[in-house]
Amino acid sequence: MTKLAPFLFWKLWLAVLSISVLVVIAKWPNASGEDITHSREFFQQDLRSDFLGSVGTVFYGLIPNGFFSWYHNLLLLQVLFTSVGFYLIFKNRTFAQSKIRNVSLLLILYFGIILGAAQSRDGIMLAFSVFGIGLFLASKNVKISSLRFAISVVAWFIVILGFSFRPWLSISLVFIFLAVWKIRDQNKSISRFVLIGVIFVLLSSPMIIDQSTKKIWNLQDAYPQQIVMIHDLTATYCWSVNASSVKHAAEGLSALTTNPEALREICQFFKPNTWQAVSGFIPSALPTKGMVAPIKLIDLNDDSRYQKLQEEWFHVISRDPFTYIQNHMSFGTQVLISGESRNLSVVETAQALLEDIRLETSFNFLVSIFESPYEIVISLHLLSPLAFLIFLIAVYVKDRKLESQFLRLASVRYAILAFISWMALTILAFASDNGRYTYQPVFFLYLVMLLESIKLPTEYFKKESDLNHEE
């Protein structure tokens, strides 16, 4: 029998602290993320808009410049939330004396803190989620029931706040809650009345926070949903063989054209993996530098043009659902493999160091070594949904007992439902194949599987006592 030994406080603390410090050092010289920079700029304009989400616009706009720049303050905040969250998640757990589990923990910490430090809405979502989940799991040790309940409410408010950056994913939040609840209180059930109330709160709160933020800060309508509609209509216009669908797609896009020849040119601009190529929102997404994009985004508060776009979008989907499904099946293949790829920076930094040995090139080389495992995993798409499914099948085939250990556990099944719903929502709202959209549900599944492979101390001692009694 394999003995269980506590993963000592100082080892966990040292691992979390070391990785957190290294992540901060590695990311400190970098510039802020593109999306969050735009969000901050939208907030600082005379007419503030909600184009990249109300909560994100206000949150990033309010981060102060002080002793450090706003970007560095944000980086410190995200790393702090993520690292403390992981410490709270693992601090009361025991590990088998198994190198596989210990390495798995280090990998979870390494990838989790890097993802939580990402300068994007996905990064802040993960940071808030990990911190909230850690706080919720740690509240089990609180003896006073009223205080334990209060901590649990605060914990899930933090998670909800994270999901308000992407409120359309609130369906997945319900399954994440159920999975984490089963991990903390495996033998306790929730009454049907309370469960319905919790589900309602989790489903509605992110959108309520988003819309309340928009009203309080008087953000103007920028119609963020238009990017999905533009991408869908362009895909139908360029790909469909249904003449009626092409006609209605053209009518929807015609209200946004920048020149009389736009609809003749638009398919030359169209890229299945991004909406930005036809709109020119980011010039680098255009097929050729200097070209004029055929589509112009809807102006602030131009409700008539938005309604026209929305009507034609609904019309195309309702009259020709098969084309819509076919298009999104194509988009779904990109979601499954997490389309983002990266170059290995360690090769470039090594060359730079060999050519000119200086403090800067030496620092960049060391940073690239630290980040190379992450870059390799991302480049090989090993954090993609497809890679996870292959991993799960391979492990199950190798050890058929896995079903009794993992797949029958309620927490794992809820985590799988969270994964499936997240994938479905991402495919439905597809406008770009950026891999970071799918890293969080995959990472959550790995985290749940690791947590379920660890026994709590009380469970361990009870098991040991029973075994000794049988002997």
The string of DSSP letters for 109-162 reads HHHHHHHHT-SSHHHHHHHHHHHHHHHHHHGGG--SHHHHHHHHHHHHHHHHHH
Tokens 């797949």 correspond to what residue? Answer: 407
Which amino acid is it at 451?
A: L
The CA distance from 322 to 328, in Å, is 10
Lowest mean pLDDT among 122-126, 248-252, 290-294: 290-294
Q: Is 271 a residue whose pLDDT tops 50?
A: yes
Mean pLDDT, rounded, for 100-111? 88
- 297 falls in which pLDDT band (50, 70, 90)? very high
Closest to 207 measured CA to CA, from 171, 256, 244, 249: 171
% of the chain with per-residue pLDDT over 90: 59
Which amino acid is it at 15?
A: A
The CA distance from 405 to 412, in Å, is 10
Tens digits of residue pLDDT in 55-64? 999 999 999 9
Domain spans in the chain, listed from the N-terminal domain onward: 4-219+381-470, 226-336
The CA distance from 79 to 20, in Å, is 6
Q: Which residue has the higher pLDDT, 4 or 63?
A: 63
The string of DSSP letters for 326-392 reads HHHHHHHHHHHTT------HHHHHHHHHHH---HHHHHHHHHHHHHHHHHHHHHTTTTSHHHHHHHH
Q: Average per-residue pLDDT in the chain?
A: 87
- The two three-digit tokens of residue 180, written as one number: 């984490």
Helix axes 54-62, 192-216, angle to 10 degrees: 60
Q: Is 291 a residue whose pLDDT tops 60?
A: yes
Tens digits of residue pLDDT in 153-200? 999 999 999 999 999 999 999 999 999 999 988 777 788 899 999 999
Query: How distant, in Å, are the alpha carbons of 56, 128, 237, 244, 341 from that of 316?
Result: 31, 38, 10, 8, 33
Specify the pLDDT at position 301.
93
